[in-house]
Structure 1
Amino acid sequence: MSKDYDCAYNRLKDIDPVAANRIHPNNGRKINQYLNLYARFGVIPSKLLQEKTVENWGQVDNSRYDFCFLCVNASLTTLDPFVDRRVDHMVDAGLLKEVLDIYTTNADYTKGLRQAIGVREFESFLRCYILEHQKPCSESHDQTLNDQILKQNIQHIVDSPDENEWKALLTEAIQQVKLNTRRLVRRQRRRLNRLQMLYGWNIHYVDATKSIISGADDIWAVEVVKPSIGIIKSFLTEESSTEIGSNASEEMKMIQKDLWTQHVCEACGNKVLRGVHEWEQHRQGRGHRKRISRLKKSGSLCL
């Protein structure tokens, strides 16, 4: 962690330890955001954001507009290979060339484009390759030519069937991009489920599984486009049997998200979880449940 981040994070801890515990010490963007909020409003970030979040989080029924939510969904067994193929297509189409254009040695991967999936995963490969192959240049023309040669050589590694050190590093990076993208898919599905279950969003799911498997435009038209048009027409003509948000009970509407409470899991080596959702996800995880089971069998768990 840089000295600037260290100083900023320590200042945030002094001002608002609750907010500081909520974020990672290396998350410079979020640290600066919280400090700017405090400077602007004179209220500690945890209090300010808690109030705004509790008031607005996930609520759509108080809006001046009506909403029709459509989610094109598919089974995970179909989405996972689809995501993998998509990453392969992006690499074949020149993803690494684009990443190389914004690559800087020892860059900060918590800001800007470098945060995106498909950028930070290639950092180790590019750093090692550039350090070994890039030649010192005295003029901008030479640097441009050198960059072009680097891109050509990297693309050659992508296209080559040969297995070597560089191919292994690149393959590992590509696999990490695929893994992170699959994780993103699951995270998005969980968020949609929370919006539907906790806040009563009337989300209309359209199943694209058959269309993805077939890859045919006519299947897409029948399985995705046609049902979507029907849902929108029904919404516009107010023929829908349920109003947006009406399936949420009053009790659900009053749920307040405790975003700032820390939970400590002693069974997992005093691992710190931030917020109710993160804590519940951890409790349901396979690793946590296995540790609890072992501790129960050994009699080390105090219930």
Structure 2
Amino acid sequence: MARTDTAVANTSTEQRSALVAAGALCWRKRQGQLEVLLIHRPRYDDWSWPKGKIDPGETTPECAVREVREEVGITIRLGIPLPTIEYPVSAGLKVVHYWAARAEGLTPKPDGKEVDAFLWCSPERAAELLSNPSDREPLDALVTAANEDDLSTWPLIIVRHAKAKPRSSWTRAEGERPLAATGRRQALAVSKLLQAWSPDRIVSSPWIRCVQTIMPYVKESGARLKLVDAITERDAARKPDRARGAVGKLFDRRVPVALCTHRPVLPLVLDVLRAHMPMRLANALPTTDPYLAPGEAIICQVSSKNHGRVVSVEQFRAYDD
């Protein structure tokens, strides 16, 4: 079985295959035992995972959350990424991206059309029932993560602010430089992307372009917003240790969180992330300027049981103008 340490880099521009889909392996614990959620599709008379084809302009994480909601009526928060599977279908090659998703306390309600039944069962029983043999690969990875206490996680997300008006054309205070029109559209896309992980807290530079980037998500979700001077360009350049400290505190709170900052601050942020992950994942982080495109995000899943240990890294660009 593959280790749970995972590095995945996906962007919206990557979805070039003829048939791209996404879904999730929903899981829960019952009397200390792991159970996973299978669905039955009457059209194919098979047992599989909730999944579906990506919509135009949608990222794979957004697709996974939407499909689970549409097929079984529950809203999930994505956990660790699981192996992507590929298999031939009549229209060509189908590529399906999967995530783990904790579904404790959620009651599935099949839509009655694509899905007419569901079953919570042990991983062993799921392996027997799955109609597509390739669906066992993400299941194996999920079981490995559970055995290593890395299945229960919380997301720590780093966002570079969306495209701002050019510095050369701005004559007022740098902290007041706002988003460009493209950046405002990117901010809406960032909001949709963040909803796949549903961070409860947002930590942001108080400079206007960062606040404008994350405000659509804050308004949509009701997440708590905290503005931190230490991660502005100016303060991070003057006192880099304070910027690193602000990032380090995110690990101490152990709650889903997103941090929005500036390109020049990203090297300090990435230094802190590297200290919390094994070398394999650290090597997957960006190392050259500009590190992230405007509106792009790095998603780290942090183990709930192994404090401060990052077990997966993903990278997504929410919007390309």
- TM-score, normalised via structure 2 length: 0.23
Question: Which has the larger helix fraction?
Answer: 1
Question: Which has the larger strand fraction?
Answer: 2
Largest Rg, 1 or 2: 1
- TM-score, normalised via structure 1 length: 0.24
